[in-house]
Amino acid sequence: MIRVQNLTKRYGERIAVNGISFEVQHGEILGFLGPNGAGKTTTMRIITGYMPPTEGMVEIDGFDIVEEPIEAKKRIGYLPENPPLYNDMTVESYLDFVADIKGVSRNEKRENIEFTLERCGLAEVRRRLIGNLSKGFKQRVGIAQALVNNPSVLVLDEPTIGLDPKQIIEIRHLIKSLAGERTVILSTHILPEVTMICTRVVIINEGKIVLEESLERLSGKVEGAQSILLRVSRGGEDIRDRILSIRGVVDVDEGSSGEFIVRSGDGIDIREELAKTVVESGCGLLELRPLTHTLEEVFLKVISTEGG
């Protein structure tokens, strides 16, 4: 649905985006992560046709954003970091205005507006001036303007920034409800946002992609290793050596009270053999479970590694 290939953006001598490539499939919610100044917003602006790339290309449902901008943009809904709202318009009249700008046909416009008002929880404030709404409702209007043309692709840049905790939860639920129906790119530097909403993450730093992985696989590894917590009731002198002899084990750290952290190579499942070894040793197996890493740990690891 979205294909980004060798995308580069230069501002004179400065390279904001440096040859990045990734794809987003239909119905997927991709978290586009990075520290401030990493190139996230620049990438989002290029994907949506707001600015041209220096090199590379972006395809939206098979249409090149530079060569076929009209067809590509018909399929995009974009929420920039600062929503393009008109405070002196009512919510309903604003969505009507946006629908006209986006070329929504007269036959579809009323149905699209009604659907968007209901989906974004704006029906009760449809006749209120946007300028009189709370920050949370204004953000909902921003998402509504991105949805009013019924796009197959949504690009959301920092959609919960500046909201209070209740508003953040509401917007997250709204975005997550769009999964499966539309392809979504969520650009943010708020890590819990990605964990709660997205199925896959791309981490960018200094204009380059430093990691691309599903959330499910990402939580179980750092630098390709899997860690397992092992706890036994009786320690033996040779237990560490016996564990190290298991195929795939790369390291064993011994803690207190019979605890061990066992690390295996990428993609090697050692749990069955590890349990068998401990039982046969007579040490008394009390606990054996994988240790997962938080997205914060992974994020800091890849950012610090890339930064040298």
Determine the Cα angle at 136 with ends 134 and 137, to 5°: 70
Nearest to 231 by CA among 272, 194, 260: 260
**In the predicted structure, residue 299 carries a pLDDT above the cut 90:** no
pLDDT for res 126? 97
Q: Which helix (H) or strand (E) holds 17?
A: strand 14-24
| 85, 88, 90, 92 alpha-carbon torsion, rounded to 10° | -50
* CA 223 vs CA 15, 63, 217, 250: distances in Å: 27, 36, 12, 13
List the chain domain ranges.
2-218, 226-292
| Mean pLDDT within 92-114 | 96
CATH 3.40.50.300 fits 2-218, yes or no: yes
pLDDT for res 19? 96
**Residue appearing with tokens 């040779």:** 238
End-to-end CA distance of the chain: 34
Query: Lowest mean pLDDT: which of 83-87, 120-124, 194-198, 218-222?
Result: 218-222
User: Tens digits of per-residue pLDDT, 17-69?
Assistant: 999 999 999 999 999 998 888 999 999 999 999 999 999 999 999 999 999 99
> What's the whole-number average pLDDT of the chain?
89
User: Tens digits of per-residue pLDDT, 64-89?
Assistant: 999 999 999 999 999 998 899 999 99
Region label for 248, one of left (φ > 0), alpha (ψ between -120 and 50) or beta (otherwise):
left
What dotted CATH number matches 226-292? 3.30.70.100
CB atoms < 10 A from the CB of 281, how many? 17
Sheet holding 153-157, edge to edge: 76-79, 153-157, 183-188, 29-33, 200-205, 208-214
Range list of H helices, 19-105: 40-47, 69-74, 91-101
